[in-house]
Structure 1
């Protein structure tokens, strides 16, 4: 592998995979009895969620997405120099799921591989790592797989989160190209761990191991029904965090980029839910024609929402070569990240 000092990292190809299981608003209306199907759609922007099967893990979804990418002819498994696996629902505590996927996908044994334990900002973090690997000469082709099965963390009777999350995976090929300017970057990153308790699965790790007590399901004043082994989200606090930090991060990103918000061709933000995204769009005065929404048929797929939206917009011909796209992820952690991407 020869290193070129003029090589720039670029997104070359992407593919997505959704599990066969589906959860519709009509099912949620019948099972939860809290909101009508039409109200769920109006508030969340979601009509159907993809749901992994009982024995289907994030690595299975990621494997399928990567296989689709290889089938497109963009590259072969032997071309991959580094595998990044971004997920908060790994197969095991250890080993890293990336190592399992390296073997399963038939990647070379001199291929680097590790996991990123990031959620909604994970795709942008992965882009940053891939850019660093490529532009320092450590790799020429990086396979970034994002995959989550958040539905396995949800209590079936909890309306506060079950209306939002779906499962999916995306495989993105980031490769070295000869270019005069950056095709990925600049970046902004942010972290505020003081809000970690507002979006969390409290029990199951080393800090709070599972037990009969953590499995006990309770009804909470906020309308949620869950155990400590289920996902908890304080929606009001998460919304406040997003509206406080994301506009500032976008201002910082535009300053680094040296352009104005009007010069951005497309905005693809983490597809959390329609209500939150519309709040952001209005605050930033972004035209609806430039602002992408892609959650109606799959739900909030956590680390995969941005690449899912990128692929959808590209397939529909909305995003074309030469376009400047702003990608911004935000959520669990609290963590946020933004980047400019010039479509290769």
Structure 2
């Protein structure tokens, strides 16, 4: 699918990461794997440490903390929010949606349009698309896009395929109409036939959680997980990314008469350093223009990794400069998408830490 937008822009970006940090070397004993092989895996994949919530922190907790920070700093006013889009795979409840939880906890006015999107690693791209469509309405002038996941609560600590790389985080992105903004081009593809490559088998109505879905079972690779936990077919996901994503990016660049050299930064979803470097090699992108350091410092927070890559690598530049960037997200669905746009100067571009004592239900 091809999508084009005009007269719209991102004007601010904030990320929220838990203060609680775990190191890979401290977790190796949980995995049915020799220390030597674990260290080798960490070197190849870029594991080092990750930020995960401690205790019963929910998605709305991280989202509210980020928005309250913006309110307190005068960077956003409650009354100027016209729409709230929350993208998450870890909602507070099956019903109501987390956007309504955030709306109520913040005391927003009754004319705010609230919507939840159940999207994963491509969720930042899809959230921007939804926000831009809302901005086509004359009564909507400012959209707040929240991407948030606390996936650590759904991953088995004894699953070395997933747990070392997983992270929790939230982002708050402000999108507004801007008559002078350059055109934005996006591409999006989905393949539900391959949905089982990344899934949580139990917990929905197809397979409700019960005592049996909580039982830990060892797989053929020595990982222990339950049906209530995230299950990833690593080989299938790796092949999907390296086959589908470069083709999509090349097509987007060709159709917009853009060369790799014209892009200041390729801000891609952050599955791990190894996969990102393989993508950079396939596309002919220098490593210094495709950040791949998020997993080693923060972990893979699903759809939040693009904002984390942005605020942790480019915050100083983006409050001063306008950069030509290519965004790309790929993962659960299976879904893959990309967007070519000019980003900056932003009103704010920063990262804050969430302290557990911030939790207020």
TM-score by length of 2: 0.88
- Distance (whole Å) between structure 1 residues aligned to residue 136 and residue 219 of structure 2: 49
Structure 2 SS opposite 1:296: helix
- Distance (whole Å) between structure 2 residues aligned to residue 284 and residue 318 of structure 1: 24
Instruction: Give the CA deviation at 1:303.
Output: 1.2
The equivalent residue for 1:117 is 118
The equivalent residue for 1:133 is 134
Q: Give the conservation status (yes or no) of the 8 Å contact 2:31–2:223.
A: no
- Segment drifting more, 328-337 vs 293-302: 293-302
1:328 pairs with 2:312? no
The equivalent residue for 1:243 is 242
The equivalent residue for 2:98 is 97
TM-score by length of 1: 0.93
- Distance (whole Å) between structure 2 residues aligned to residue 223 and residue 246 of structure 1: 30
Q: 1:198 to 1:232 in 2, by over 3 A?
A: same
Structure 2 SS opposite 1:313: helix
Q: Give the conservation status (yes or no) of the 8 Å contact 1:40–1:163.
A: no
Structure 1 SS opposite 2:162: helix
Q: Which aligned pairs between 1:87-236 and structure 2 lie closer than 5 A?
A: 87-179=88-180, 181-182=182-183, 185-236=184-235
- Distance (whole Å) between structure 1 residues aligned to residue 47 and residue 140 of structure 2: 38
Q: Which runs of 5+ in 1 are unaligned?
A: 1-5
- Distance (whole Å) between structure 2 residues aligned to residue 222 and residue 32 of structure 1: 11
Instruction: Give the CA deviation at 1:159.
Output: 1.1
Q: Give the conservation status (yes or no) of the 8 Å contact 1:192–1:333.
A: yes
- Distance (whole Å) between structure 1 residues aligned to residue 278 and residue 162 of structure 2: 19
Post-superposition Cα deviations, 1:122-180, rounded to whole Å, max 9, x if no partner, equal 00101111112113435111000111011111112111111110111111111122315
Structure 2 SS opposite 1:211: coil
Instruction: Give the CA deviation at 1:43.
Output: 2.4
Please tell me the root mean square deviation across aligned C-alpha atoms, in Å. Answer: 1.9
1:62 pairs with 2:63? yes
Instruction: Give the CA deviation at 1:33.
Output: 5.7
The equivalent residue for 1:268 is 267
Q: 1:8 to 1:70 in 2, by over 3 A?
A: farther
Give the count of matched residue pairs: 337
- Segment drifting more, 283-292 vs 265-274: 283-292
Instruction: Give the CA deviation at 1:308.
Output: 1.1
Structure 1 SS opposite 2:211: coil
Instruction: Give the CA deviation at 1:68.
Output: 2.3
Q: Give the conservation status (yes or no) of the 8 Å contact 2:84–2:143.
A: yes
- Distance (whole Å) between structure 2 residues aligned to residue 30 and residue 223 of structure 1: 13
